[in-house]
Structure 1
Amino acid sequence: MPQHPAIILVSENRADFLRDEFGRYARDYELFTATTAAEAEALARRLVDEQQQVALFVTEARLPDAPVLAALHGLREVVPTARRMVAAHWEDFLEDAEALRPGLVTGKYDAFLLMPRGQRDEEFHTAVCELLSDWGSTVAAPEVTTAEVVAEPGDALAVAVREFFSRMGMPSATHAPDSPAGQAVAAEWRSTTGTEPTYPLVRSIRGGVIAPTSVRDVAAVIYGRPDSIDPEGANTIVDLCIVGAGPAGLAAAVYGASEGLTTVAVEAEAVGGQAGTSSMIRNYLGFPRGVSGMRLAQRARNQAIRFGTRFFTGWEVEGLTPGADGAPHVLHTEGGDLHAKAVVLATGVTYRKLGVEQIEELTGRGVHYGSAMSVAREMEGVDVVVVGGGNSAGQAALHLARFARTVTIVVRREGLESTMSSYLIKEISFHHRISVRPFTEVVDGGGAARLEWLTLCDRRDGSQDTVPAGGLFLLLGAEPHSGWLPDAIARDERGFILTGRDVPTESWSDGVPPDSLATTVPGIFAVGDIRSGSMKRVAAASGEGSSVVPLVHAYLA
Structure 2
Amino acid sequence: MIPSTARPSIVIISPEHCDHLLDEFGRYARDYELHCAPDAEQACQVMRSINADGGDVALIVSDSLLPDAEVADAFEQWRALEPNARRLVFTPWERFAETVPLLRTHLARSVFDASLLMPRGVRDEEFHTAVTELLSDWGNMVGAPVVANVLIIAEASDALGLALGDYLHRTGMPFKTVRPDAPRAKELLHSLPPEERRLPLVKAPQFGKPFSPSSVRELAAMFYGRPDQIESDEVADVVIVGAGPAGLAASVYASSEGLTTHCLESEAIGGQAGTSSMIRNYLGFPRGISGMRLAQRARAQALRFGTRFWTGWPATGISRADGHFIVHTDGGDMAARTVVVAAGVTYRRLGVDEIEELVGKGVHYGAVTTAARELEGGHAVVVGGGNSAGQAAMHLARFAESVTIVVRREGLTETMSAYLVDEIEANPRIHVRGRAQVVGGGGDGRLEWITLASTRDDARERIPADGLFLLIGAAPHCDWLPDDIALDEHGFILTGAETPRSAWHDGTPPAALETTMPGVFAVGDTRSGSMKRVASAAGEGAGVVPLVHAHLDLHHR
Query: TM-score scaled by structure 1?
Result: 0.97
Unpaired stretches in structure 2, ≥5 consecutive residues: none
- Return the alpha-carbon distance in structure 2 between the equivalents of residues 516 and 204 of structure 1: 45
Q: Given the alignment, which residue of 396, 401, 407 partners 1:400?
A: 396
**Contact preservation (8 Å) 1:439, 1:459:** yes
Aligned-partner residue type, residue 550 of structure 1: P
Deviation at 1:100, TM superposition (A): 0.9
Structure-2 residue corresponding to 1:322: 320
Does 2:263 align with 1:262? no
**Contact preservation (8 Å) 1:206, 1:221:** no
Aligned ranges 1:19-34 → 2 under 5 Å: 19-34=22-37
- Return the alpha-carbon distance in structure 1 between the equivalents of residues 230 and 215 of structure 2: 23
- Return the alpha-carbon distance in structure 1 between the equivalents of residues 540 and 102 of structure 2: 38
Aligned-partner residue type, residue 253 of structure 1: S
- Return the alpha-carbon distance in structure 1 between the equivalents of residues 179 and 275 of structure 2: 26
Structure-2 residue corresponding to 1:306: 304
Aligned ranges 1:221-300 → 2 under 5 Å: 221-231=222-232, 234=233, 236-300=234-298
Q: Given the alignment, which residue of 47, 52, 77 partners 1:74?
A: 77
1:320 partner SS? strand
- Return the alpha-carbon distance in structure 1 between the equivalents of residues 265 and 418 of structure 2: 31
- Return the alpha-carbon distance in structure 1 between the equivalents of residues 56 and 138 of structure 2: 11
Aligned-partner residue type, residue 313 of structure 1: T
Deviation at 1:204, TM superposition (A): 2.1
- Return the alpha-carbon distance in structure 2 between the equivalents of residues 196 and 29 of structure 1: 41
2:462 partner SS? strand
Aligned-partner residue type, residue 529 of structure 2: G
Aligned-partner residue type, residue 280 of structure 1: M
Does 2:518 align with 1:522? yes
2:521 partner SS? strand
Deviation at 1:102, TM superposition (A): 1.0
Unpaired stretches in structure 1, ≥5 consecutive residues: none
- Return the alpha-carbon distance in structure 2 between the equivalents of residues 405 and 305 of structure 1: 41
Aligned-partner residue type, residue 221 of structure 1: M
Q: How big is each residue's C-alpha offset from its partner over 1:271-319, in whole Å with a ceiling of 9 and x where there is no partner? A: 0000000000000000000000000000000000000000011111111
**Contact preservation (8 Å) 2:382, 2:393:** yes
**Contact preservation (8 Å) 1:147, 1:172:** yes
Q: Which moved more, 1:284-293 or 1:201-210?
A: 201-210
- Return the alpha-carbon distance in structure 2 between the equivalents of residues 166 and 198 of structure 1: 22
Structure-2 residue corresponding to 1:375: 371
- Return the alpha-carbon distance in structure 2 between the equivalents of residues 528 and 87 of structure 1: 39
Aligned ranges 1:193-212 → 2 under 5 Å: 195-208=195-208, 209-212=210-213
Aligned-partner residue type, residue 266 of structure 1: L
Q: Which runs of 4+ in 1 moved over 2 A?
A: 183-190
Deviation at 1:205, TM superposition (A): 4.1
- Return the alpha-carbon distance in structure 2 between the equivalents of residues 141 and 398 of structure 1: 20
- Return the alpha-carbon distance in structure 2 between the equivalents of residues 479 and 433 of structure 1: 31
Structure-1 residue corresponding to 2:219: 218
Q: Given the alignment, which residue of 463, 468, 478 partners 1:472?
A: 468
Structure-2 residue corresponding to 1:499: 495
Q: Given the alignment, which residue of 436, 442, 449 partners 2:438?
A: 442
2:268 partner SS? coil
Aligned-partner residue type, residue 261 of structure 2: T
1:92 partner SS? helix
Aligned ranges 1:383-462 → 2 under 5 Å: 383-462=379-458
Aligned-partner residue type, residue 212 of structure 2: A
Q: Given the alignment, which residue of 335, 339, 354 partners 2:335?
A: 339
Q: Given the alignment, which residue of 526, 531, 549 partners 2:545?
A: 549
**Contact preservation (8 Å) 1:37, 1:63:** yes
- Return the alpha-carbon distance in structure 2 between the equivalents of residues 100 and 331 of structure 1: 52
**Contact preservation (8 Å) 2:196, 2:211:** no
Deviation at 1:155, TM superposition (A): 0.5
Q: How big is each residue's C-alpha offset from its partner over 1:131-174, in whole Å with a ceiling of 9 and x where there is no partner? A: 00000011111111121111111111111111100111111111
**Contact preservation (8 Å) 1:388, 1:409:** yes
Aligned-partner residue type, residue 276 of structure 2: S
Q: How big is each residue's C-alpha offset from its partner over 1:451-493, in whole Å with a ceiling of 9 and x where there is no partner? A: 1111000010000000011010111100000011011000000
Aligned-partner residue type, residue 308 of structure 1: G
Aligned ranges 1:54-203 → 2 under 5 Å: 54-190=57-193, 195-203=195-203
- Return the alpha-carbon distance in structure 2 between the equivalents of residues 240 and 145 of structure 1: 36
Deviation at 1:530, TM superposition (A): 0.3
Q: CA RMSD in A?
A: 1.1
Deviation at 1:184, TM superposition (A): 3.5
2:131 partner SS? helix
Deviation at 1:189, TM superposition (A): 4.0
**Contact preservation (8 Å) 1:185, 1:201:** no
Aligned-partner residue type, residue 54 of structure 2: Q
